[in-house]
């Protein structure tokens, strides 16, 4: 029994010696391994922070790149176009044309155009529309001084180029009021003759029967002009047209026709449309985008008040 206990003690002592020896050898190795791992983790953390700092510093210095679409631009930017706050019209005597004043209150400037409608004078002056120099606008003084100066410029230009003596036609103060008042009612005479008996009506003449016509192709209807909508098409006509309304004096107005993709032709009218087409260099046959922008008040040549159509135009090439 004592031998067994002695053997167990010897084995335990041997295990203790072996354990201490292993601990003495393994502990430095583990310490070195842990230290190496810690240094590696530390170096990795430093590299990561340095990379993040480099990116943070370099990002603001990157050049700004603008990506442009290759598709044709059909939406027109609003910063390239200004709408006039008011338009005034001055007639000429004899009626060979008119003067248009476009007032921009914020910019305090008045843009002026001379439009010639008389064919012979138009040929002598080599053009229908002539742009006059801009004039400063004073909201307190109004347009009286600008109108007088513009009339002098227009008279001088027409007299020099067209060899015509013209002057501005200023309506009397009560002309606009008389234009709005109804005229006198027609009076009925008291002693009217009795109507004479009518002759017996002749029998109606039957029209010859016509041969049945071949069915025509379905007509394409142009869309209705809507404010703010952009119409893109081919400019097939851009010229002044003479209009003869029933019961009124004939007048001349500029008309542009767009041929849309579906084959329909859209007619747009107005002196401002002519100005926009000329300023954008649009010609017949070009593809253009026209946006109706609504109406602005205008002082008419006869002293009344009216409205004028405004347009925004962009040339899109052939």
* Choice between 92 and 301, residue whose per-residue pLDDT is larger: 92
Spell out the domain ranges in the chain: 1-43, 78-169, 223-318
Residue range 154-166: average pLDDT?
74
Residue range 256-283: average pLDDT?
87
Residue range 177-202: average pLDDT?
48
∠ Cα 38 39 44 (to 5°): 100
What is the CATH code of the structural domain delimited by 223-318? 2.40.50.360
* Choice between 236 and 299, residue whose per-residue pLDDT is larger: 236
Neighbours of 284 (CB within 10 A): 13
pLDDT tens string 191-203? 445 545 544 444 5
* Choice between 92 and 187, residue whose per-residue pLDDT is larger: 92
Residue 126 has pLDDT above 70, yes or no: yes
Contact assessment for residue 51 and residue 69, using Cβ atoms and an 8 Å cutoff: no
Residue 263 has pLDDT above 60, yes or no: yes
Neighbours of 168 (CB within 10 A): 18
Bridge-based pairing state of the strands 129-136 and 109-116: antiparallel
Residue range 134-144: average pLDDT?
89
Q: Please, which pLDDT band fits residue 281 given cuts at 50, 70 and 90?
A: confident
Residue range 140-151: average pLDDT?
88
At residue 135, the pLDDT reads 92
At residue 48, the pLDDT reads 67
Q: Please, which pLDDT band fits residue 206 given cuts at 50, 70 and 90?
A: low
At residue 201, the pLDDT reads 47
Q: Could you tell me where the DSSP H helices lie in the chain?
A: 2-58, 119-124, 144-161, 175-180, 271-279
Distance CA 288, CA 137 (A): 33
Distance CA 101, CA 84 (A): 10
Distance CA 264, CA 282 (A): 20
∠ Cα 159 160 166 (to 5°): 10
pLDDT tens string 47-76? 766 554 444 444 344 444 443 434 334 333
């Amino acid at each position: 029994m004592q031998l067994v206990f002695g053997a167990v003690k010897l084995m335990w002592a041997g295990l203790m010696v072996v354990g201490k020896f292993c601990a003495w050898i393994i502990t430095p190795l583990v310490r070195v391994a842990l230290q190496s791992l810690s240094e590696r983790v530390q170096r990795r953390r430093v590299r990561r922070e340095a990379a993040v700092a480099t990116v943070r510093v370099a990002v603001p210095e990157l050049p700004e790149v603008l990506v442009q679409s290759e598709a044709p631009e059909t939406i027109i930017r609003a910063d390239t176009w200004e709408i006039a706050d008011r338009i005034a019209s001055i007639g000429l005597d004899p009626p060979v044309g008119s003067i248009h004043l476009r007032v921009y209150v914020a910019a305090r400037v008045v843009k002026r155009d001379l439009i010639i409608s008389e064919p012979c004078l138009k040929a002598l002056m080599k053009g229908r529309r002539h742009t006059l120099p801009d004039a400063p606008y004073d909201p307190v003084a109004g347009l009286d001084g600008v109108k007088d100066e513009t009339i002098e410029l227009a008279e001088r230009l027409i007299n020099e180029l067209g060899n015509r003596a013209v002057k501005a036609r200023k309506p009397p103060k009560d002309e606009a009021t008389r234009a709005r008042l109804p005229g006198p009612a027609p009076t009925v005479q008291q002693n009217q003759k009795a109507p004479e008996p009518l002759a017996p009506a002749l029998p109606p003449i039957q029209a010859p029967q016509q041969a049945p016509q071949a069915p025509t192709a379905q007509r394409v209807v142009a869309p209705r002009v809507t404010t703010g909508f952009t119409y893109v098409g081919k400019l097939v006509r851009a010229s002044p047209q003479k209009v003869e309304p029933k019961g009124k004096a004939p007048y001349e107005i500029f008309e542009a026709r767009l041929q849309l993709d579906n084959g329909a032709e859209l007619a747009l009218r107005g002196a401002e449309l002519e100005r926009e087409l000329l300023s954008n260099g649009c010609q017949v046959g070009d593809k253009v985008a026209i946006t109706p922008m609504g109406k602005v008040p205008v002082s008419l040549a006869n002293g009344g008040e009216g409205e004028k159509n405004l347009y925004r135009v962009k040339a899109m090439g052939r």
